[in-house]
């Protein structure tokens, strides 16, 4: 009979993958809670929209720019305590935000929350790769679904708790962060054992999946993947941030009805995320990447001209299709540089965060000037950039 350590080294460690998905869920839930309380901060601290912009910018910089740097550190100096340190940073930020009474403390608080995210995303993604047992697409899909679900329930919890009870009740979410630290002991134990086995005297060798290409072709492939990330997250920024405004403006639905349509889109996105990874494992990641972005283009181009019922149906189709891309893109990039998992995870997560934040700000300005319907007509062309996936090498990784 195989030992637990042997099973973890050679098979898909579903228990660890589920725990990492839960880590992703709690992290993204807490991050989305912070974003959701901006209106409360504006009222309580007597802030201007410009000052709220400073808070959002500080958070986005700390949550995205530092991810590649942390990823490089994690590659060079692995340590089972990194995930705990990241959540501790988030916990401190939430407590500080709960009792902030002016702009400066709020800026420091969201910086701590953003830094926590910058630690957790690249490190948890690295560990997901190691726990996959070679089924990297499936593993990343399980990991990503946790984040998607957390992001979707965070605003609901903020609306149910912080909005009626007040800013100081943000501290309750610091308790969630503390609980998440306590329940990740199995991950720390598993990773500590893995580090021990990977030492020269440990006798274990890691199974590395590698796409063997010339250096120039690897660099070009990474550039193409970054273009695909850009097209995906600019388009998603229009949906996740302004879909409710679009529905209210064009069809006259109520705010509650628009939230139901948004939930349908987010749920479809979670389904697409779960499907994309294992399909990539089975048929090849290039085909998933190509289909998931370019395949959404016809529906995206049609949606600005559709009625309410068809708009909802098309948004669900778009959510399923386009959300299957990220797991495949990330795993493809990791297999291009399998010894730089932290760097790749931090780079792609950080870029996704950064693009989403910048695009949301730019599209908001465009909506003020040209109207929300113009934003949707313009962004509908972004998935056409998926055609660059045709230039990705059509190869499969070798063990």
pLDDT (0 to 100) of residue 309: 93
Number of CB atoms found within 10 A of residue 391's CB: 12
Q: Is residue 205 in a domain?
A: no
CATH code of the domain covering residue 65: 1.20.1250.20
C-alpha 66/C-alpha 120 separation (Å) is 11
Bridge partners of 210?
A: 398
Examine the pLDDT at 208 and tell me if it is beyond 60.
no
When computed from its CA atoms, the radius of gyration of the chain, rounded to whole angstroms, is 21
Examine the pLDDT at 12 and tell me if it is beyond 60.
no
Phi, psi torsion values for 135, nearest 5 degrees: -95, 70
Same domain, 170 and 219: no
Same domain, 183 and 130: yes
C-alpha 222/C-alpha 216 separation (Å) is 10
Phi, psi torsion values for 23, nearest 5 degrees: -60, -45
Q: Which of 143, 171, 198 is the last residue of a domain?
A: 198
Q: What is the mean pLDDT of residues 284-292?
A: 84
Q: Residue 160 in contact with residue 170, Cβ under 8 Å?
A: no
pLDDT (0 to 100) of residue 207: 45
Q: Is residue 203 in a domain?
A: no
Same domain, 133 and 241: no
Q: Which of 198, 230, 249 is the last residue of a domain?
A: 198
Q: What is the mean pLDDT of residues 88-114?
A: 94
Examine the pLDDT at 318 and tell me if it is beyond 90.
yes
For 41, 55, 86, 95, the CA distances from 47, given in Å and listed in that order, are 7, 10, 29, 20
Q: What is the mean pLDDT of residues 326-347?
A: 82
Q: Residue 83 in contact with residue 186, Cβ under 8 Å?
A: no
- In our burial notation (b when 16+ CB lie closer than 10 A, e otherwise), range 17-46 reads bebbbbbbbbbbbbbbbbbbbbebbeeebe
pLDDT (0 to 100) of residue 202: 36
Same domain, 77 and 105: yes
Beta-carbon contacts of residue 300 (< 8 Å; ≥ 6 apart): 235, 314, 318, 379, 380, 381, 382, 383
Look up residue 109 and give its two tokens.
Answer: 């608080």
Length of the chain: 399
Query: Considering only 1-10, 85-94, 101-110, 191-200, which range has the smallest mean pLDDT?
Result: 1-10
Which pLDDT band, with edges at 50, 70 and 90, does 191 fall under? confident
C-alpha 193/C-alpha 176 separation (Å) is 27
Q: Is residue 111 in a domain?
A: yes
Place of tokens 């990474």: 222
Same domain, 180 and 262: no
Same domain, 194 and 274: no
Q: Residue 211 in contact with residue 393, Cβ under 8 Å?
A: yes
C-alpha 73/C-alpha 71 separation (Å) is 5
Query: Considering only 29-33, 200-204, 218-222, 255-259, which range has the smallest mean pLDDT?
Result: 200-204
Which domain, by its residues, includes 286? 215-391
Q: Residue 176 in contact with residue 26, Cβ under 8 Å?
A: yes
Q: Which of 198, 225, 258 is the last residue of a domain?
A: 198
120: nearest Cα among 155, 93, 160, 152: 93
- Please write the tens of the pLDDT for every residue from 44-78: 998 886 787 788 778 878 888 888 888 888 888 88
Opening angle at CA 123, ends 118 and 125, nearest 5: 105
Same domain, 275 and 330: yes
Examine the pLDDT at 148 and tell me if it is beyond 90.
no
């Amino acid at each position: 009979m195989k030992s637990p350590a042997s099973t973890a080294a050679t098979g898909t460690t579903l228990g660890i993958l589920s725990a990492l998905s839960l880590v992703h869920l709690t992290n993204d839930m807490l991050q989305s809670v912070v974003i959701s309380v901006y209106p409360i901060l504006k009222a309580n601290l007597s802030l201007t929209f410009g000052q709220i912009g400073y808070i959002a910018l500080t958070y986005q910089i700390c949550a995205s720019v530092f991810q590649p740097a942390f990823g490089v550190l994690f590659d060079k100096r692995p340590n089972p305590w990194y995930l705990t340190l990241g959540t501790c940073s988030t916990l401190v930020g939430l407590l500080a935000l709960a009792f902030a009474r002016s702009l400066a403390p709020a800026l420091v608080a969201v910086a701590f929350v953003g830094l926590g995210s910058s630690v957790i995303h690249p490190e948890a993604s690295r560990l997901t790769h190691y726990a996959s047992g070679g089924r990297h697409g499936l593993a990343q899909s399980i990991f990503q679904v946790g984040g998607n679900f957390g992001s979707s329930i965070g605003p609901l919890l903020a609306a149910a708790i912080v909005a009626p009870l007040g800013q100081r009740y943000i501290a309750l979410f610091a308790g969630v962060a503390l609980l998440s630290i306590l329940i990740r002991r199995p991950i720390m134990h598993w990773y500590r054992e893995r580090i021990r086995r990977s030492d020269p005297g440990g006798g274990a060798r890691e199974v590395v999946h590698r796409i063997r290409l010339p250096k120039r072709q690897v660099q070009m492939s990474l550039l193409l993947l970054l273009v695909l990330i850009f097209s995906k997250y600019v388009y998603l920024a229009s949906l996740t941030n302004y879909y409710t405004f679009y529905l209210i403006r064009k069809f006259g639905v109520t705010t509650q009805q628009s939230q139901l349509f948004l939930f349908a889109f987010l749920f479809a996105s979670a389904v697409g995320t779960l499907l994309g990874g294992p399909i990539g494992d089975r048929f090849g990641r290039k085909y998933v990447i190509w289909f998931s972005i370019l395949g959404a283009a016809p529906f995206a181009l049609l949606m600005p001209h559709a009625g309410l019922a068809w708009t909802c149906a098309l948004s669900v189709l778009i959510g399923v299709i386009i959300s299957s891309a990220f797991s495949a893109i990330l795993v493809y990039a990791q297999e291009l540089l399998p010894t730089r998992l932290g760097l790749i995870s931090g780079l792609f997560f950080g870029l996704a965060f950064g693009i989403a934040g910048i695009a949301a700000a730019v599209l908001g300005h465009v909506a003020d000037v040209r109207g929300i319907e113009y934003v949707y007509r313009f962004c509908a062309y972004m998935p056409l950039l998926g055609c660059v996936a045709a230039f990705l090498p059509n190869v499969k990784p070798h063990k």
